[in-house]
Structure 1
Amino acid sequence: MVLVSAKVVQRWALFVSFVGLVITFVTTFLPLWKTLNTDLNEMENWYEGLWHTCIFQDEAGMQCKAFDSFLALPPDVLASRVLMIVSIGTGIVAVGVAFFGLEGVDLGPGRQGLKRGLLILGGVLSWVSGITTLLPISLVAYVTVVEFWDDTVPDIVPRWEFGEAMFSGWFSGFFLVIGGTFLFVSVCMEDHRQHVSLPDTQEKPRTPQYLKTEVL
């Protein structure tokens, strides 16, 4: 008895991938990748993302400013921008492709092979989207840790720390990878179901049949 069908797994995979895509999109433009708080003014917090640097003050609220020059960006921020844009693009294509491969979406008669290929392509693209989300998050985290423990910087200088957007980025990357994995699992389940439901083509031994005759 099958507790979970391939159809259910496909829909959960698409849902998880879509949630990961939405979180990735929000994370890309949030100015909360890194946070900084100075001991001299505890009422003032600094935040930095891939596009803006923001300062939060209790009296003035949040004020953000975009980076002055694209060419003057640090290498990790520039690489992270590119990778996150790639992640969003591949994630959108992955969700769209996987949707047309779902059971219940009619593409016409005799298109099961095409639907299977769409699910596999959606899973691959979802993996690519998840990996290209995890890479920039991990890169910025690595640079932040290295700069935090840099002995050449005086202790009086405030250090950047992890912001909330980095944790949401890790979650979104894992969601996209898990969603792609579920798509592969659904394909394997459907292949197994079709293999089991195939008729037995082996020849069965014939039972001898006798002609009943009566002697008059």
Structure 2
Amino acid sequence: VYRTMMQLSGILFSLLGWVLSCLTTYLPQWKNLNLELNELEIWTMGLWQACVVQEEGGMQCKDFDSFLALPPELRISRILMFVSNGLGLLGLLLSGFGLDCLKIGESQQELKKRLLLLGGILFWISGITAIIPVSWVAHTTVQEFWDENIPDIVPRWDFGEALFLGWFAGFCLVLGGSLLNCTGSSTEVHLSSAHYTVAEMQDYCQHL
């Protein structure tokens, strides 16, 4: 029962992290800019477009014209977030087939264990590749904010909401992968009690 609960918790955390990492990839709020001259306008920048939020006219966005014209941190962040999303999806598929609750492959417990471990490792890599670009953009934003060569009257970019969402997504992916790896690397049951253990887990899963 404890093993099954850890598996389900790991999958749920990983699924939440994957969904949030996908949202982080496409949200335009990676950076915010509040103009003191016009407090009714807030500029935001993401990996794909820049937007201006007006109190009366809503939000208007414009896609970036060229990938090569972007700053290095945004170019690399696009690639890393795509890698994170792809690895997270692959991890969900593999670890899903490795769950004890799934009746497919009940007789192949060793294979299911390997799928669970591989899925957990993919979630780990996915979480790290989501944290790296978010942290990189945050680092460059801090550097630009405190750059003494820029006059004080020039507006500075600040952290956007998508950065915090990306950090939380990476944390959930790493946590979910850790839980799955813990259950996948736990001690194996004896062969004599294997059928009883599988039947007990199936019964518990049906109650859930």
Same-fold call, TM > 0.5? yes
Deviation of 1:91 (Å):
0.1
Q: Give the corresponding residue for 1:170.
A: 167
CA distance in 1, matches of 2:122, 2:178: 11
Taking only aligned residues, the RMSD between alpha carbons, in angstroms, comes to 1.7
Q: Give the corresponding residue for 2:133.
A: 136
CA contact (8 A) 2:88 2:122 kept: yes
Q: Give the corresponding residue for 2:113.
A: 116
Deviation of 1:192 (Å):
5.2
- Correspondent of 2:52 among 50, 55, 68: 55
Deviations 1:99-147, CA, capped at 9 Å, x for gaps: 0000021233531110000001001100010000000000000000000
Return the letter of the residue paired with 2:166: G
The reply on whether 1:73 has 2:77 as its aligned counterpart is no
CA distance in 2, matches of 1:143, 1:60: 31
Return the letter of the residue paired with 2:169: S
Q: Give the corresponding residue for 2:24.
A: 27
Listed as ranges, the matches of 1:1-216 within 5 Å are: 5-108=2-105, 110-189=107-186, 191=187, 193-194=189-190
CA distance in 2, matches of 1:194, 1:93: 31
CA distance in 2, matches of 1:30, 1:13: 26
Higher mean C-alpha deviation, range 124-133 or range 99-108:
99-108
CA contact (8 A) 2:124 2:173 kept: yes
Give the secondary structure class of the aligned counterpart of 2:185.
helix
In structure 1, stretches of 5+ residues that fail to align are 199-216
Deviation of 1:193 (Å):
4.5
CA distance in 2, matches of 1:62, 1:88: 26
CA distance in 1, matches of 2:190, 2:164: 41
CA contact (8 A) 2:105 2:112 kept: no
Give the secondary structure class of the aligned counterpart of 2:62.
strand
Deviations 1:133-183, CA, capped at 9 Å, x for gaps: 000000000000000000000000000000111001000000000000000
Q: How many residues align?
A: 194
CA distance in 2, matches of 1:109, 1:132: 33
CA contact (8 A) 1:32 1:165 kept: yes
Deviation of 1:70 (Å):
1.2
Q: Could you say which structure has the larger radius of gyration?
A: 1
CA distance in 2, matches of 1:175, 1:47: 25
Give the secondary structure class of the aligned counterpart of 1:68.
coil
Deviation of 1:186 (Å):
1.0
CA contact (8 A) 2:117 2:185 kept: no
Deviation of 1:68 (Å):
1.4
